[in-house]
């Protein structure tokens, strides 16, 4: 802290030396800029597209579709399944496959918790990519 001597005789006048304060603030700004985390990136998503009219709407035989129907029933490619055997059945199917992609479809009145539970089981079974199949009426207009 510096003092000005001379001039009026009303007593000592103190003037703060703010240069060290500015140096400390600049160092703190640089530190916070360096350690600021990057913005979190979301998960990559694919928007379902409607098949062109020339292609048939039936899925290919090697595509696996898990359907959650009314009453909590499950189907794997039109085969009846249940919650207890879904994980083991899917891991048996995907053990020999290189492409670990499957799709899930929920009925209109099924609670989302059941669909999320099926997605969790699918991920635990080793499926890397889970696609969501929506109702044909709910597709965006740009995809038509």
pLDDT per position as a tens digit, 40-99 = 667 777 777 766 666 545 556 678 888 898 887 888 888 888 888 888 888 888 888 888
DSSP 48-101: --PPPTTS-SSPPTT--EEEE-GGG-EEETTEEE-TTTHHHHHHHHHSS-S--E
Q: In the prediction, which pLDDT does 26 show?
A: 95
For the entire predicted model, the pTM comes to 0.53
Q: In the prediction, which pLDDT does 2 show?
A: 56
Q: Mind listing the pLDDT tens digit for each residue in 98-113?
A: 888 888 888 888 888 8
Average pLDDT over residues 26-36: 89
Q: How confident is the model at residue 141 (pLDDT cuts 50, 70, 90)?
A: very low
Q: Say if CB 127 and CB 90 are below 8 A apart.
A: yes
Instruction: Report the range out of 14-18, 58-62, 71-75, 120-124 with the highest average pLDDT.
Output: 120-124
Q: In the prediction, which pLDDT does 94 show?
A: 85
Q: Say if CB 118 and CB 90 are below 8 A apart.
A: no
Average pLDDT over residues 6-26: 79
Average pLDDT over residues 32-43: 75
Question: How many Cβ atoms from other residues are within 10 Å of residue 112's Cβ?
Answer: 10
Q: In the prediction, which pLDDT does 25 show?
A: 94
């Amino acid at each position: 802290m510096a003092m000005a001597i001379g001039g009026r005789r009303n007593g000592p006048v103190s003037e703060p030396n703010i240069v060290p304060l500015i140096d400390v603030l600049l160092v703190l700004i640089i530190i916070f800029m360096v350690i600021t985390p990057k913005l979190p990136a979301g998960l990559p998503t694919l928007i379902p597209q409607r098949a062109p009219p020339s292609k048939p709407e039936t899925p290919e035989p090697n595509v696996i579709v898990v359907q959650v129907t009314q009453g909590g029933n499950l189907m794997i490619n039109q085969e009846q399944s249940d919650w207890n055997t879904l994980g083991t059945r899917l891991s048996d199917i995907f053990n020999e496959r290189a492409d670990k992609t499957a799709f899930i479809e929920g009925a209109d009145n099924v609670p989302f918790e059941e669909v999320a539970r099926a997605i969790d089981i699918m991920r635990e079974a080793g499926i890397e990519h889970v696609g969501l199949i929506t109702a044909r009426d709910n597709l965006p207009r740009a995809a038509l």
